[in-house]
Structure 1
């Protein structure tokens, strides 16, 4: 969410010259070691589109993301809470889990320099809005984060890129930029990272 730092150990990023855009196609392939790679612009014929989006944006450097399976496994302990919260909020469990993984790496005590807390990295005002009494309680934190994702999905008509941008930078930042992803480095990195993990988790759920 707004102002908190994405954990540097969560994802291994190799900076290559690829296109970073406010809305770009995301490509994926699995290498010989079983590592899932994601990028905005493919540099290998093995990449396939997993999320299509409008083009004609300016090209800038952006990371290729390697998914840290250890972190995904760490977050697995919260699967029952994620399923419960996602069902109550009518949100895909894969989306909630992807946000949790990127936000906190599965650490329920995560605390950002700007005050975002817990598994879903709730800012104090967001926690208060959703009636959270103990922000470090996994059940309360995941429930509030899921409800916030639901509200953002309604606000942005299920445009997942805008939903994630608003979760990271805040709805005000998205609205101030004409309903598009704010040109903030953290947000431009955050959106494709969450989307990459989200699609990976959906593929796993469908046995792909």
Structure 2
């Protein structure tokens, strides 16, 4: 029976277009113990959260978490609470977040119990989408699919917060703003150290093999090596594009060659959506840079 459950789970992961690498071991075990209908909803929600092409990705995830919450899933209730806590996809509402954490805690959900230590519980109803078969309210348009990096980081579970200290340390070495690095990590991998894309981008900052080789990263799944390589590349891009954050971020996604070719942000929907997501979390247009690292992009000569 356990073998059959694993096979069925693998099929669900494939259908939902979620890579095993995007799920932690804890998530795999948690999802595998859910009934099939809930497991499917959770996988679809995770898939939505990783869809950088969809401006409503976080709201779509909230829809699936609402459905699974109505079916009694403590994991879905916790994840919906996290969305309300950070304002991702749905309006930020600490009371509704606390209500969801409290509901999941009654089922013994450990992360929810820990989150209740950080929010003040008040007597409020659950979100309408949990009480009835209705759509969740969308976040205001300007925050429809992202939260600021401060909001995002505030909602990180404790078992991922060690990454913040690592980013702070390494970013300081390379003189790159840690908030920019965290914003890129949040969009690239959602802080999953084992994340791997279909294009073989790996780890927290989703380094492709060529970039890993370029910046001497031997093991892209090692968090420290991955962040060092990603931040070193980001520092180079900031120098190459003379501190223009949008161009550097676009190049991080599509490569500096593509940015040069199109004389700006490439017209690829994925890249444009990627830049929007990072900029919404890190709304800074210009970053300091070290002009001795590299010659600037030819874009600036063409612009005069």
Bucket of the pairwise TM-score, normalised by the shorter protein: 0.5 to 0.7
1:8-27, Cα deviation, whole Å (9 max, x unpaired):
31478439xxxxxxxxxxxx
Q: Residues 129 and 188 (structure 1 numbering): CA distance in 2 closer, same or farther, change over 3 Å?
A: same
CA contact 2:146–2:277 (8 Å) conserved in 1: no
SS of equivalent residue, structure 1 residue 134: coil
1: CA distance, partners of 2:177 / 2:185? 13
Whether the 8 Å CA contact 1:153–1:163 is kept in 2: the answer is: yes
Give 1:134's match in structure 2, choosing from 198, 212, 219. 219
- Show structure 2 runs of 5+ residues with no match: 1-21, 23-46, 58-89, 95-137, 285-304
Q: Deviations over 1:80-123 (max 9, x none)?
A: 11011111111000000000110001111111001100000001
Structure with a larger share of its residues in strand: 1
In the alignment, what sits opposite 1:33? 93
The one of 146, 167, 182 aligned to 1:66:
146
Q: How does 1:154-173 map to 2 (within 5 A)?
A: 154-173=239-258
**Which secondary structure does the structure 1 equivalent of 2:145 belong to?**
strand
Distance 1:148 1:85 in 2: 13
Give SS of 1:115's match: coil
Report which structure shows greater RCO (CA 8 Å, sep ≥6): 1
Which residue number corresponds to residue 182 of structure 1?
Answer: 266
What is the alpha-carbon distance in structure 1 between the residues aligned to residue 49 and residue 162 of structure 2? 19
1:31 deviation in Å?
A: 4.7
Q: 5 Å matches for 1:57-136?
A: 64-67=144-147, 69=152, 73-74=156-157, 76-136=161-221
- What is the TM-score when the length of structure 2 is the normalising length? 0.47
**What is the RMSD computed on CA atoms of the aligned residues?**
3.1
Higher helix share: 2
Structure 1: segments with no counterpart, 5+ residues? 16-29, 40-46, 48-63, 201-208
How many residue pairs get matched?
158
Structure 2 distance, partners of 1:102, 1:120, is: 9
Give the drift of 1:66. Answer: 3.4
Instruction: Tell me what 1:8 maps to.
Output: 48
Could you say which structure has the larger radius of gyration? 2
